[in-house]
Chains A and B, each alone.
Chain A
Amino acid sequence: MGDKKLIKQIQQGNSDLLDVLIRKYYKDIYSFCFRKTVNSNIAADLTQEVFLKLVHYIHSYVHDGKFKNYLFTIARNVCIDYYRKNGDVIQFSEGLDAPANDENLTKVEQSEIVMQALNDLPDIQKDVVLLRFYHDMKVRDIAEITQTSLSTTKSRLKQGLDKLKKIISEEDVF
C-alpha cells in the first residue's frame, strides 16, 4: 500500500495502519536522529517524539506526494528543539559496536572517524549531507525539508562535502 492510501485510511480511523506506517519509517527516522545526537537512548526518545507529533498532525495532513519529506521536516524540527533545550553538546553515550578482531577494529575505527568528521561540520551542512547520503534524498527535497532555496542547499552540500573530503583524506584508514 502506498503512503497516500495508508494515510487516508489512518485519517479515517484505522489505527492498525498507523502501526504499519510507523514501522515503515522507524529505522529511517531513528538513524537520522542517531547521527544527529550520537546517542542511541536520546535518538530513540526523539524518534518517539517525532511519531507522536505525526499522530498529532495527521488529521490535518494533506498528501502532496511527499510524505517522507513531511516526516523528515518534523524529525529535523524535533532535533533542533532538542538542542535548543539541551545546548549544543553531543553526549557520547557509548562506543560503536564493540569489535572482536582486527578487521572489525578497522571498521569501528573508520566508523568513528566518519562520525567525528560529520560532527565537525556545522549543523546546516551536516543536515544536508545526512539527508543526501544516508537517506538518499534529492537536493530539491532537502531544500524543502530545511526550508531553504535550492541554490543554498546545493552550496551547503558542496561545502560540507569538501570539508569531509579534507578530514577524511587526512586519515589513512580508508
Chain B
Amino acid sequence: MKDKKVKNTLEKYRVPQIPNSLIDNTVGLAKRAFERTGIKYEMSFREILVGQIKYISPSLWVIQAALLFIILVFLLVSNSTHNAYQSVITTISVASPIIALVVIPELAKSFNHHVWEMESTCKFDLQKLLAIRLIIIGALDMFVITIMVVITSTFYELSFINISLYILVPFNMASSIYLYILRRIRGKAATIICLTVGIFMALGVGLLAVYSELYTLISTFIWMTMFIFSTVVLVYELIHMLKSLQEGEKLEWNLP
C-alpha cells in the first residue's frame, strides 16, 4: 500500500462540524482574558529608530536632495572645464561643510520650538531623541557622501581613498565646530551663527581648494592623520553635547 493511498484513506476520517457559537464563545473568553493582561511590549531600538524617521522635518529631505543634485551637476560639468581637477576639488570641498550644516536646524528644533521640556520628560528623553536624530541624519549624510565619492572616483582620475578624505576631513571639522557652537551659544542665535559660520567655512575651504596643488602636495598619510584627528574631535563634541542634554540647567537655551 502506497503512502498516497494511506493519505486518501485517512482523509475519509472527518471531524464533525463545530457550531459557530462555540467558536464565538472561545473568542469572547480569550478576548476578555487578554484584556486583563497588561501589555508588556518593549520597542526594540530598531523600531524606535524607524519610528522617528517620519518626524524628521520634511524640509531636511528636500534640502539634502537639492544639495545632492546641485553637487552632482557641478561634478559632472567639471568634466568640460579646462581645469577639471581643480574644479572637482573645489566642489567637494565647498560641499562638505554645507552637507554637515543640514543637521543643525534639526538638532536645535526642540529648543527653537520649545518642545524640549515635554520631550525631556518622556521615557525616551531628549538625549536619546537627539542621538536618534543624529543617527538618522548621519546615515543620510553618509549616503550623500558615498554617492559623491563614487561619482568622482568613476569619472575622474582620483583614488577612492583620497576623495573620501578630501570630503570627510572638512565634514568632520565643520560638524565639530557646529556642535561646539550649539553647545556654547543659547537660543535661536545658535542656529543663525552656525549657518553663518558654515557659509564662511565653505567659502574658506573653497578658496583653499583653488590652490588645489595643496591637496596633492599633502601626502595621503597626513590626510589620514587629519581624518583620525578630526574624527576624534567630532566624537568628543558629540559625547559632550549629548551629556549636556542630561543636565536640565544647560537646556535653558531658550528661556521664555
Instruction: List residues of A whose CB falls within 8 A of some B CB.
Output: 10-13, 15, 18-19, 22-23, 26-27, 30-31, 34-35, 40, 44, 47-48, 51-52, 54-56, 58-60, 94, 96-97, 107, 110-111, 114-115, 118, 129, 133-134, 161, 164-165, 168-169, 174
User: Smallest Cβ distance from A68 to chain B, in angstroms?
Assistant: 17
Please give, as numbers and ranges, the residues of chain B lying within 8 Å of A22 by CB-CB distance. 23, 26-27, 30
Per the bound structure, the CA–CA distance linking A174 and B40 in Å amounts to 54
Which of the residues B9, B39, B40 comes within 8 Å of A114, measured between beta carbons? B9
Instruction: List residues of B whose CB falls within 8 A of some A CB.
Output: 1, 3, 6-7, 9-16, 18, 22-23, 25-27, 29-31, 33-35, 37, 39-41
Please give, as numbers and ranges, the residues of chain B lying within 8 Å of A164 by CB-CB distance. 6, 10
The verdict on A59 contacting B16 (CB below 8 Å), with A22-B27, A47-B26, A168-B6 known, is no
Please give, as numbers and ranges, the residues of chain A lying within 8 Å of B40 by CB-CB distance. 11, 59-60
User: Smallest Cβ distance from B101 to chain A, in angstroms?
Assistant: 38
Provide a sorted-by-A list of 25 A–B residue pairs whose CB atoms are within 8 angstroms: A12-B39, A12-B41, A15-B35, A18-B31, A19-B27, A22-B30, A23-B23, A40-B16, A47-B26, A51-B30, A52-B30, A52-B33, A55-B37, A56-B33, A59-B40, A94-B16, A96-B16, A110-B9, A110-B12, A111-B14, A118-B10, A134-B10, A165-B6, A168-B6, A174-B12
Per the bound structure, the CA–CA distance linking A30 and B26 in Å amounts to 11
**What 8 A-B pairs are tightest by C-beta distance, nearest first?**
A114-B13, A110-B12, A31-B15, A48-B26, A59-B40, A165-B1, A34-B15, A13-B39
Classify the secondary structure of B's interface with A. helix
Please give, as numbers and ranges, the residues of chain A lying within 8 Å of B9 by CB-CB distance. 110, 114, 168, 174
Per the bound structure, the CA–CA distance linking A19 and B249 in Å amounts to 50
Residue of B nearest to A60 (CB): B40
User: Smallest Cβ distance from A54 to chain B, in angstroms?
Assistant: 8
Pairwise interchain contact B26-A161, C-beta atoms closer than 8 A:
no
Residue of B nearest to A13 (CB): B39
Pairwise interchain contact A97-B16, C-beta atoms closer than 8 A:
yes
Pairwise interchain contact B34-A55, C-beta atoms closer than 8 A:
yes
Pairwise interchain contact A19-B31, C-beta atoms closer than 8 A:
yes
Instruction: Contacts A44-B22, A59-B41 known; list 7 others, CB within 8 Å.
Output: A12-B41, A26-B26, A40-B16, A51-B30, A55-B30, A55-B33, A58-B37
Pairwise interchain contact B6-A51, C-beta atoms closer than 8 A:
no
Per the bound structure, the CA–CA distance linking A152 and B13 in Å amounts to 26
Please give, as numbers and ranges, the residues of chain B lying within 8 Å of A114 by CB-CB distance. 9-10, 12-13
Per the bound structure, the CA–CA distance linking A47 and B14 in Å amounts to 17
Please give, as numbers and ranges, the residues of chain B lying within 8 Å of A118 by CB-CB distance. 10, 13
The verdict on A96 contacting B14 (CB below 8 Å), with A55-B34, A59-B40 known, is yes
Per the bound structure, the CA–CA distance linking A30 and B11 in Å amounts to 16
The verdict on A18 contacting B41 (CB below 8 Å), with A23-B27, A44-B18 known, is no
Pairwise interchain contact B39-A59, C-beta atoms closer than 8 A:
yes
Please give, as numbers and ranges, the residues of chain B lying within 8 Å of A18 by CB-CB distance. 27, 30-31, 34
Per the bound structure, the CA–CA distance linking A52 and B27 in Å amounts to 9
